[in-house]
Structure 1
Amino acid sequence: MAKIGLFFGTDTGKTRKVAKMIKNKFDDELMAKPVNVNRANVDEFASYSYLILGTPTLGEGLLPGLSADCEGESWEEFLPQLEDVDFSERTVAIYGLGDQVGYADEFVDAMMEVYEFFTERGAKVVGAWPTEGYEFEHSEALLDGKFVGLALDLDNQSGLTEQRLDAWLAQIAGDFGLPL
């Protein structure tokens, strides 16, 4: 079985695109294929010691899901299924997509909901990311002056995605026990 689980929620497909970019950097022994959380199995999800989780922020700072007008279920519906899982032996890294121009007041807010959910259940969350190079008004996803995970803006800064992704993966590699 692969060492790292890669799960994402999406509405437009951009978060899936980033998940595929991440997966392409790893072989099947290290990382499982990306799985949309609307197709995820709780037992499979909980079986990984290392998790990379992706989420977009929709509308006014919402997780993807039916109440955010997504076409299908997503993080909003999947997280309650994990409420009783102990993640204290797990390491989690989060990446989030947002639009710092169109939604400058809630840039990547949904990352904080994912962060809080897993830290409340004992997970060690790694991969905090600096705010330098971004232009936004407010983000709920800040802790100690950094984003709780990798912030990506494919709408306004798509040219920086690959570079940021490589730097972030190198940053979390040690926490995931990976030679990168």
Structure 2
Amino acid sequence: MKKIGVFYGSTSGTTLGIVDEVEFYLKKMEYDVINVADGITSIGDYENLILITPTYGVGELQADWENVFDEFSKVDFSGKVVGLIGLGNQYAFGESFVGSIKVLYDVVTNNGGKVVGFTSTEGYHYEESEAVIGDQFVGLAIDEGNQGDHTPDKIKSWIEEILPSFN
């Protein structure tokens, strides 16, 4: 398996905690962790990617992702396999829960990438989400504030699911 690039943005530090969990389950793999606040110039170097973002406002990207979005939207994802993790609060922002991963999903798929790791909407309580296609989220949905006790198991299962898809 080729090296995995884990790209994330974090404002409050909650997302960084999720990155730590992801790293725990990738410990036997080759991977790099890149904070998008430091730029995304190396994103093209990876064929396997995990992109992690919290959702702000009404389905909006976190500020660091927003700052690199123009560059991100021009990345050629052809031949790349991408897993998405979105963080949000299903109760406080039930009308846009984890909507930011749909923004990333659209760019990746429009630019030739393959997204893996769709997850069930079962067990969540939200009004609507742009990040849902059919009856699945376009990635792993995390509500650390309301369901944080489930996070390690969700991440473990999700990583186990996506790894066989990576080259």
Give your verdict on TM over 0.5: yes
- For structure 2, the 5+ residue unaligned runs are none
Higher strand share: 2
1:26 equivalent in structure 2: 26
Letter paired with 2:148: S
2:90 equivalent in structure 1: 100
- What do residues 76-100 of structure 1 show as CA deviations (whole Å, max 9, x unaligned)? 1112113333111100000000000
Does 2:111 match 1:112?
no
2:38 equivalent in structure 1: 39
2:78 equivalent in structure 1: 88
- Where does structure 1 differ by over 3 angstroms across 4 or more consecutive aligned residues? none
Aligned mate of 2:134, from 135, 144, 167: 144
State the distance in 2 between where 1:165 and 1:108 align: 15
Letter paired with 2:44: A
State the distance in 2 between where 1:45 and 1:137 align: 33
Same amino acid, percent of matched pairs: 36
SS in 2 for 1:151: strand
User: Shift of the alpha carbon at 1:114?
Assistant: 0.6
Letter paired with 2:53: T
Higher relative contact order (CA 8 A, sep 6+): 2
State the distance in 2 between where 1:26 and 1:102 align: 31
User: Shift of the alpha carbon at 1:17?
Assistant: 1.1
The equivalences for 1:1-180 within 5 A come to: 3-27=3-27, 30-32=30-32, 34-42=33-41, 44-65=42-63, 74-177=64-167
Deviates further, 128-137 or 15-24:
15-24
State the distance in 1 between where 2:152 and 2:24 align: 12
- For structure 1, the 5+ residue unaligned runs are 66-73
State the distance in 2 between where 1:143 and 1:152 align: 17
Verify the 8 A CA contact 1:62 1:109 in the aligned structure 2: yes
User: Shift of the alpha carbon at 1:25?
Assistant: 2.0
Question: How many residues of Structure 1 are paired with residues of Structure 2 in the alignment?
Answer: 166
SS in 1 for 2:129: coil
Higher helix share: 2
State the distance in 1 between where 2:25 and 2:15 align: 16
Verify the 8 A CA contact 2:40 2:68 in the aligned structure 1: no
Verify the 8 A CA contact 1:49 1:89 in the aligned structure 2: yes
State the distance in 1 between where 2:59 and 2:73 align: 22
**Structure-2 change in CA distance of 1:124 and 1:170 (3 Å):** same
SS in 2 for 1:24: helix
Superposition RMSD in Å:
1.4
State the distance in 2 between where 1:142 and 1:158 align: 21
State the distance in 1 between where 2:156 and 2:29 align: 19
State the distance in 2 between where 1:160 and 1:29 align: 23
